[in-house]
Amino acid sequence: MNEVRTLEPWVGAPGSAVDRVWYVSYGSNMRLARFLAYVRGGRAEGGALEHPGCRDPEPPRAWAALELRGRLYFATESRIWGGGRAFLEPPDEAGGGRTGPGDSGTGPGAVRADLDDGRPGLGAGRIAAGTGRVFARAYDVSREQFADVAAQEMYRAPGDGPGLETVLAGGERAVRCGPGRYETLLCLGALDGRPALTFTAPWRAAEVAPNPPSERYLAQLAGGLGETGAWSAAVIRAYLAAAAAV
């Protein structure tokens, strides 16, 4: 079996100093062909939507299998696959509050602190130790590519994605960029000295109605995990069955 990596602390760096990041996928983008639809543009096999792609269509330079702290759950309704979408619930916060007005910036992609859908958000606090594990695949991409992938997941145009300065400031950090699913950025730590980033919903699993995933969607997750060669087929089936149970 291939190695399963874990993350180290991210000490932070000025956003302008970070050229490349790890995009950590815990959902259908774990399958490389599906992820490349977001990078190069087009429609993923079995998917229902065309994606514009990143401004830079270079494929990821490397990837790694990861185990994360937290919980995988399924909720809302996928426009692409039907059924619930995958979300990462990180461990409980150890402190703090939302991104402040001074961090909100202006113009496209700025982090906004004033958006609220009525459910408690993750804010910009640090994430504390917790229980549970989430299987994931990390891709070595440019900072711009991560922002463009995040933009497409947020139903925005490439180039209109979220600013990354706050999420790169240091530590395990959550930054809410909007009220919707996949509009909260997470810095999960570091891998080989570079920040590991992903996105999830601003709510926690207990605050939203569960929705089981479709078989097509689960097949994408299982296929991506299988491509890594890091977990056996039996382990993957058991992991996804437990996460999908509602």
Nearest to 167 by CA among 1, 4, 18, 7: 18
Note the pTM of the prediction, 2 decimals. 0.84
Q: Higher model confidence: residue 155 or residue 7?
A: 7
Q: What is the pLDDT of residues 184-208, one digit of tens each?
A: 999 999 999 999 999 999 999 999 9
Query: Which structure tokens are listed for 178?
Result: 């909007």
Does residue 10 have a pLDDT over 80? yes
Query: Which structure tokens are listed for 217?
Result: 């969607």
CATH number of 4-244: 3.10.490.10
Query: Which structure tokens are listed for 134?
Result: 């989430």
163 Cβ partners below 8 Å, 6+ apart? 15, 105, 109, 110, 111, 147
Backbone φ, ψ for residue 144 (5° rounding)? -65, -40
Q: What is the pLDDT of residues 216-232, one digit of tens each?
A: 999 999 999 999 999 99
- What pLDDT score was predicted for residue 96? 32
- What pLDDT score was predicted for residue 16? 76
